[in-house]
């Protein structure tokens, strides 16, 4: 190959490389993925795995729960006395009134529209890992789900719908069938998904259960609350 032929061959190679470079530059760009949100260390400790009553409560998946629903002390203006439990179904919060215009606030899941309880009552009974039985209304509404083997209920345990604790609300000496109870379903906190009860993460309902004695007064609001300021 003479010099002229060699120069032509080199020119063709260079042109091919140039074309290839242009093709690559015009191709798909790498996808930039946003980093997963960091989980607060204090929240991770509060909602970590827990041994209780022979059962292992799994750690809550905080990535499925809004930060506003994490247990926290907030400012809370109310005329209710210290120690009262105030449930705001519309804001999806439960408050335990504390001294100094403060309250311990818990995120909760609430009843579907038309199934909510409103008014006042007292915690007549507290139970750890309680037996669960569907109410007659539940069986009537969903006979295919509750009318079979579940009609007689389920013993306490991780899969039990009442979770690790249940606080039974009575009014005028009668069971309202309204419960404040636990759940492992972090995704349901802040939503209207239950059959009328107030559900809390198991870690939260254990915390609340430890703070309130029997006969504690419970107020379930029927209108938006304006007391919380944070």
Q: What number of other Cβ atoms are within 10 A of residue 72's Cβ?
A: 16
CATH superfamily of domain region 61-220: L,D-transpeptidase catalytic domain-like (2.40.440.10)
* 112 CB-near residues (< 8 Å, 6+ apart): 192, 193, 194, 195, 196
Residues identified as active-site: 181, 197
pTM: 0.77
Whether pLDDT at 200 is above 80 = yes
For residues 214 and 200, what is the distance between their CA atoms, to the nearest angstrom? Answer: 18
Q: Which residues pair with residue 154 across a beta bridge?
A: 132
Task: Specify the DSSP class assigned to residue 210.
Answer: H
Q: Mind listing the pLDDT tens digit for each residue in 156-194?
A: 899 898 999 999 999 999 999 899 999 988 889 999 887
Q: For residue range 124-160, what is the model confidence (pLDDT) as tens digits?
A: 999 999 998 877 777 787 787 666 777 777 788 998 9
> What pLDDT digit, counting tens, does each position of 65-91 carry?
899 999 999 999 999 999 999 999 999
Rg value, the chain, Cα: 28
Q: Which range (16-20, 46-50, 220-224) has the least confidence?
A: 16-20
């Amino acid at each position: 190959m003479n010099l002229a032929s060699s120069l032509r061959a080199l020119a063709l190679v260079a042109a091919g490389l140039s074309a290839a470079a242009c093709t690559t530059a015009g191709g798909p760009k790498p996808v930039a993925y946003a980093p997963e949100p960091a989980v607060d260390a204090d929240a991770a400790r509060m909602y970590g795995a827990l041994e209780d009553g022979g059962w292992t409560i799994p750690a809550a998946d905080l990535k499925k729960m809004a930060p506003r629903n994490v247990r926290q002390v907030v400012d809370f203006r109310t005329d209710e006395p210290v120690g009262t439990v105030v449930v705001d179904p519309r804001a999806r919060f439960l408050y335990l009134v504390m001294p100094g215009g403060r309250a311990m606030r818990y995120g909760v899941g609430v009843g579907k529209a038309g199934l909510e309880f409103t008014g006042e009552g007292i915690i007549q009974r507290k139970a750890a890992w309680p037996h669960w039985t569907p109410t007659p209304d539940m069986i009537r509404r969903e006979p295919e789900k509750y009318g079979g083997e579940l009609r007689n209920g389920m013993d306490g345990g991780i899969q039990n719908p009442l979770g690790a604790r249940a606080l039974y609300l009575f009014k005028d000496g009668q069971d309202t069938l309204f419960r404040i109870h636990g759940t492992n379903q972090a995704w349901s906190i802040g939503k209207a998904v239950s059959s009328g009860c107030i559900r809390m993460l198991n870690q939260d309902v254990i915390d609340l259960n430890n703070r309130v004695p029997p006969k504690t007064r419970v107020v379930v609001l029927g209108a938006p609350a304006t007391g919380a300021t944070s």
